[in-house]
Chains A and B, each alone.
Chain A
Amino acid sequence: MKGLMAVFRKELADNFNSMRFIILALIMFGGGVLLTIFVAAQNIRAGVTETTQYIFLRLFTVMGDSQLLSFPFFMSFFIPILGIVLGFDAINSERTSGNLSRLSSQPIYRDTVINGKFLAGLMTIAILVISLVGLISGIGLRMIGVPPGAEEILRLFTFIFITVVYGAFWLALAILFSVLFGRVATSALASIGVWIFVLIFVPLIGSIAASITNNDQIASYVSLISPIALYGQSIQAILIPSHPVMFVVSLYYTGLEPNPLPLNQSLLIAWPQIITLIGLTALCFAGSYIKFMREEIRAT
């Protein structure tokens, strides 16, 4: 346990001191805050006339002219990069720098190294997400002057939780590749490759399958293998209580007027996606374990 804390503390300090993290965090803060605030400030008035419920949440969901400018999309794009940046060289850089031999000859279990690095990465993601959401809430509160209701705050916390889980998946994937591949460049490319595949090709495959079978539902099914889609669907259910537009729901709710769902109902809708994300994370983590635990650690 002592070893885990030591690794955790060291890695956390490393994360916050690393230039690549600082750059990425600056981009996320700058881009995220500015874009969301301006877009929300411009478009939120138009939204308020329709319904007066959950105005504060709209800070996070109202889109600009193009869909790219919504906060959830922004997060679903940048969180994978953050996870990959924090994890892609976790183990193989220790190996090539000759530190792994030294570390693994200390009286700690070998998984302590992976666990510590994973937890430190998770903590880093959580800190970043919380501060980003906090910053937007603070600025937004000043701009629109409508305080969030209790349920809205709960929904925001749920959103933070899901976002951290989403980040955990990419972090675990990147760590898995850093265990599997000896070279840092290979593991970085593999992680980015998976991300691009999921980001671009999975929706493409989905729409092709849908057009072949003439069934729009197919695209939604295909998207279920994509962590990006899982994240998008789950936060949509949480952040937009009145429009949980998902295929599961639309099967049963077609024709109904969009009514805001209570939080537990929103959670119920998002739950399968969240569990799948956690499962995928666990799968990547287990893979790293199996490979790393009994591996030979040679200092060359």
Chain B
Amino acid sequence: MNDKVIIETRDLVKNYGKFVAVDKLNLSVTEGEVFGFLGPNGAGKTTTLLMLLGLTDPTSGTATICGYNSTKEPVKVKQLAGYLPEKVGFYDDLTAIENLDYIAALNGLTRKMASKKIDELLDIVGLSDKAEAKVGTFSHGMKQRLGIADVMIKDPKVAFFDEPTAGIDPEGIEQVLALIKNMAKRNVTVMLSSHQLHHVQKICTQVGILAKGRLVAQGSVDQLGREKIAGGKVRIEVQLAEPSSKLVKLIEKVEGVTGVERNGDILLISCENDLRRQIARAAADCDSLIVQMKMEEFGLDEIYMKYFSEPQP
């Protein structure tokens, strides 16, 4: 992973009449990231995606993809970027292959190249056996997977997914997430918007939280959790066989530890950074048996709720 910025917005603003959908959004996503775009309904996620793809014009500011301005050079941008809209539609009376054929032709692929590529992609998304079936007979999950094949036809450098897991069954969700992850492995920069936080947490390397058209946070899930929930600290949970107050005192003396909470046989230790080694040494020093010790992981749910339960500055 290098630091080449692929998706960038500068002071991006979109107004619908008096309503401000996106408010001076500054965003940058570097190559190879899987960027999760979070926020409540109406926060401006889809609008931002549309502006990045040149499907709607920003009121002011710029959106660029790989250095191309999405408003002024939409065709260049669309050569590089694939988009799976929230409610993806196909021609119901055409087969899966025919639908993909059309998109391949629009991307300027020759017939020979297209048919090879389509076979390959249908195999990847697990729809080979349905290749000749009319899309009208497909389930929502299958359409979503066909949509991923549709995005991959042009070999995109960037892929945008709007609510890719909405309205499909758990198995379908797993498949879709696996496919998106797979794309990221092929060095495609992925940006997806979603409400389903644990899905986002599973595959995203970076998340951005959008509220009322403004980006309130951006970073990895870990980083955001540390900042928001633990107040910038690391929290370590230690379960002991025989907790003693002697040990608690000893741990409190370790440099960097800012607080110890005792809760039955569990100690919750707040510290400046990862001090698991020192804590283990302290436990060994007073002959305590550690049953388990782990760094607290931050759920995106908690982080998200924290952002939206507090009044915004």
A contact residues vs B (CB 8 Å cutoff)? 2-3, 5-7, 9-10, 97-99, 101-110, 294, 296-300
18 contacts between A and B (CB under 8 A): A3-B105, A99-B91, A101-B83, A101-B88, A102-B90, A102-B147, A104-B55, A105-B83, A106-B78, A106-B103, A106-B154, A107-B75, A109-B75, A110-B74, A294-B57, A298-B46, A299-B89, A300-B86
If A2-B108, A101-B55 touch, whether A300 touches B103 (CB-CB below 8 Å) is no
Chain B, range 104-151, C-beta contacts under 8 Å to A: 105-108, 147, 150
Whether B50 pairs with A297 at a CB distance below 8 angstroms is: yes
> What's the minimum C-beta distance from A255 to chain B, rounded to whole angstroms?
61
> What's the minimum C-beta distance from A230 to chain B, rounded to whole angstroms?
36
Whether A300 pairs with B87 at a CB distance below 8 angstroms is: yes
Q: Collect the chain B residues with CB atoms within 8 Å of residue A110's CB.
A: 74
B184 adjacent to chain A (CB < 8 Å): no
- In the complex the two chains form, what is the Cα distance from A5 to B106 in whole Å? 9
- In the complex the two chains form, what is the Cα distance from A103 to B106 in whole Å? 8
Whether B106 pairs with A299 at a CB distance below 8 angstroms is: no
Whether A299 pairs with B56 at a CB distance below 8 angstroms is: no
B308 adjacent to chain A (CB < 8 Å): no
Given A97-B91, A102-B85, A300-B86, 8 new contacts (CB under 8 A):
A99-B91, A101-B88, A102-B88, A106-B107, A107-B76, A107-B107, A108-B106, A298-B50
If A6-B106, A102-B150, A297-B55 touch, whether A107 touches B79 (CB-CB below 8 Å) is yes
Whether B75 pairs with A102 at a CB distance below 8 angstroms is: no
Smallest CB-CB A-B distances: 6 pairs: A98-B89, A299-B85, A6-B105, A296-B56, A105-B83, A101-B85
Whether A105 pairs with B55 at a CB distance below 8 angstroms is: yes
Q: Collect the chain B residues with CB atoms within 8 Å of residue A294's CB.
A: 57
- In the complex the two chains form, what is the Cα distance from A106 to B104 in whole Å? 9
- Closest B residue to A10 using CB positions: B102
B contact residues vs A (CB 8 Å cutoff)? 46, 50, 53, 55-57, 74-76, 78-79, 81-83, 85-92, 102-103, 105-108, 147, 150, 154, 162
- Closest B residue to A100 using CB positions: B89
Number of A-B contacts (CB under 8 A): 86
- In the complex the two chains form, what is the Cα distance from A208 to B46 in whole Å? 55
- Closest A residue to B77 using CB positions: A107
Whether A6 pairs with B102 at a CB distance below 8 angstroms is: yes
- In the complex the two chains form, what is the Cα distance from A109 to B55 in whole Å? 11
- In the complex the two chains form, what is the Cα distance from A230 to B12 in whole Å? 51
If A2-B108, A107-B78 touch, whether A97 touches B92 (CB-CB below 8 Å) is yes
- Closest B residue to A116 using CB positions: B106
- Closest B residue to A108 using CB positions: B106
- Closest A residue to B90 using CB positions: A99
Whether A296 pairs with B154 at a CB distance below 8 angstroms is: no
- In the complex the two chains form, what is the Cα distance from A5 to B107 in whole Å? 12
> What's the minimum C-beta distance from A297 to chain B, rounded to whole angstroms?
5
Q: Collect the chain B residues with CB atoms within 8 Å of residue A6's CB.
A: 102, 105-106
Q: Collect the chain A residues with CB atoms within 8 Å of residue B78's CB.
A: 105-108
- In the complex the two chains form, what is the Cα distance from A102 to B135 in whole Å? 15
Q: Collect the chain A residues with CB atoms within 8 Å of residue B86's CB.
A: 299-300
> What's the minimum C-beta distance from B255 to chain A, rounded to whole angstroms?
55
- In the complex the two chains form, what is the Cα distance from A109 to B73 in whole Å? 10
- In the complex the two chains form, what is the Cα distance from A101 to B87 in whole Å? 9
If A103-B106, A298-B46 touch, whether A108 touches B75 (CB-CB below 8 Å) is yes
Whether A2 pairs with B82 at a CB distance below 8 angstroms is: no
Whether B102 pairs with A299 at a CB distance below 8 angstroms is: no
Q: Collect the chain B residues with CB atoms within 8 Å of residue A101's CB.
A: 55, 83, 85, 88-89
- In the complex the two chains form, what is the Cα distance from A105 to B90 in whole Å? 14
Q: Collect the chain B residues with CB atoms within 8 Å of residue A300's CB.
A: 86-87
Q: Collect the chain A residues with CB atoms within 8 Å of residue B89's CB.
A: 97-99, 101-102, 299
- Closest A residue to B83 using CB positions: A105
> What's the minimum C-beta distance from B46 to chain A, rounded to whole angstroms?
7
- In the complex the two chains form, what is the Cα distance from A105 to B89 in whole Å? 13
- In the complex the two chains form, what is the Cα distance from A103 to B92 in whole Å? 15
- Closest A residue to B53 using CB positions: A105
Q: Collect the chain A residues with CB atoms within 8 Å of residue B82's CB.
A: 105
> What's the minimum C-beta distance from B70 to chain A, rounded to whole angstroms?
11
Whether B105 pairs with A2 at a CB distance below 8 angstroms is: yes
Q: Collect the chain B residues with CB atoms within 8 Å of residue A297's CB.
A: 50, 55-56
- Closest A residue to B106 using CB positions: A106
- Closest A residue to B81 using CB positions: A105
Q: Collect the chain B residues with CB atoms within 8 Å of residue A105's CB.
A: 53, 55, 78, 81-83, 85
- In the complex the two chains form, what is the Cα distance from A2 to B82 in whole Å? 19
If A2-B108, A104-B55 touch, whether A98 touches B87 (CB-CB below 8 Å) is yes
Whether B88 pairs with A98 at a CB distance below 8 angstroms is: yes
Q: Collect the chain B residues with CB atoms within 8 Å of residue A103's CB.
A: 106
Whether A296 pairs with B50 at a CB distance below 8 angstroms is: yes
- Closest A residue to B84 using CB positions: A102
> What's the minimum C-beta distance from A296 to chain B, rounded to whole angstroms?
4
- In the complex the two chains form, what is the Cα distance from A217 to B128 in whole Å? 69
- In the complex the two chains form, what is the Cα distance from A189 to B25 in whole Å? 42
> What's the minimum C-beta distance from A58 to chain B, rounded to whole angstroms?
44
- Closest B residue to A298 using CB positions: B50
- Closest A residue to B71 using CB positions: A294
Whether B106 pairs with A298 at a CB distance below 8 angstroms is: no
